[in-house]
Amino acid sequence: MDWKSRRITTLLETALLEDKAASDITTALTIDPSLRATGTIIAKESCIVSGIGCISAFLSIFSRLSSHSGRFEVVSHPEIFDGVRIRPNQAIAVIRANASSILSTERVILNLMQRMSGIATLTNQFVQAVAAPKSKTKIHTKILDTRKTIPGLRALDKYAVCCGGGTNHRHDLQDGILIKNNHISLGGGLPAVLERALAGRKAGQLVQVETRTRIELEQAIAGGADAILLDNMSPKETAAAVKLIRKGLPKATIEASGNMSLKNVADYAKTGVDFISVGALTHSAPAADLSMKITAAAY
């Protein structure tokens, strides 16, 4: 098991422990421990599904934490998998297990899948908005996420972004060099911090600089940044900046960020930027509306 798998397993276990799922007093007092049941996860609205793989993981961890260790299986239609659009009232997956196991894990399973599917759905809306702008010009701009994730959930948040067709930016502070405005103000100005970053980076590491003004943009170009982030600029300002960068640093990648919405993202894509980062994908995505119907099963 690699570090990412271990991190996700720990996350799911923490969710079950937080809910005290193995000590579900209501289920213990009201349900026959030998009863088998079927739990069907249903989409109550159209969404891009994400998190199907977490269902089996939750049940496996729960069986280790509790006395309800009976066999279980999770079944979904071959055409339904993470990243697929689901229709309203469509079944996403069916759980066949001990009834107590399903009842005690229902909430954590739905909580996580609702969040992940919500992120995937919002991401897909941004991807579609960029892919089909009101222009005949071919657009190649990719939608990026940010580090604005719920603490502890980043690996799953960023996975959900990929399910929606988006692209991951840095996973953590070790994963790439990004000089932001606070580094610039505390480090003695953009030219100084950029020079130190370029001199101290390891082989293969790219240096990206966040710029907010024409002066900072010119300094980043003069300093030889590998990538430039245009922060909180209007589409008109962004278009002018792209032309300047393409002339001075033709190999540099260009990213736009700041106050991106479904209403304006296409305008930014038409400026020629390579990437558009959207913090809202993971900090403001509305949860998808999912439910679970549980029925007794004789098998």
Active site residues: 107, 148, 180, 210, 231
The four Cα atoms 62, 63, 68, 72 give a dihedral, to 10 degrees, of: 100
Beta bridge pairs of residue 94: 40, 75
- Distance from C-alpha of 244 to C-alpha of 265, rounded to nearest angstrom: 21
Structure token digits, residue 88: 């309203």
